[in-house]
Amino acid sequence: MELTKTELELIMQTERAFKRTKVARVILLSVMLVGLTSMLFGLMDPDTFAYFSLAICLYALVLPQLGGPKYDDIVVLLARVRAEAAMQPGDALTDALNQKL
């Protein structure tokens, strides 16, 4: 099975977006912990912390869709890999994609 240059670029974009999202979530968690500590020591108002936390949670949920490849493109690529894998058994990745849930 041969992947086109565009598909390989899509895979690389997805990997970069996934790594960036993981790092950003760790940073956001750290910021929330600093905010919680600030609230517990009286440096931040609890209402401010609640709004701040809500904004961080929403940003963490939306983060994977920002700047990464479109979900539809990834699904099309996986569907193509799965279709070609049905014709060429033997690869572990394609066997995993072909399993029915």
Which tens digit of pLDDT belongs to each residue from 19-62?
Answer: 888 898 899 999 999 999 999 999 999 999 999 999 999 988 88
Q: What is the DSSP letter of 37?
A: H
The pTM for the full model equals 0.65
Which tens digit of pLDDT belongs to each residue from 1-30?
Answer: 677 788 888 888 888 888 888 898 899 999
pLDDT at 9: 84
Among candidate residues 3, 4, 15, 8, the one with its CA nearest the CA of residue 68: 15
pLDDT at 8: 81
As a whole number of Å, the end-to-end CA separation of the chain is 24
pLDDT at 41: 95
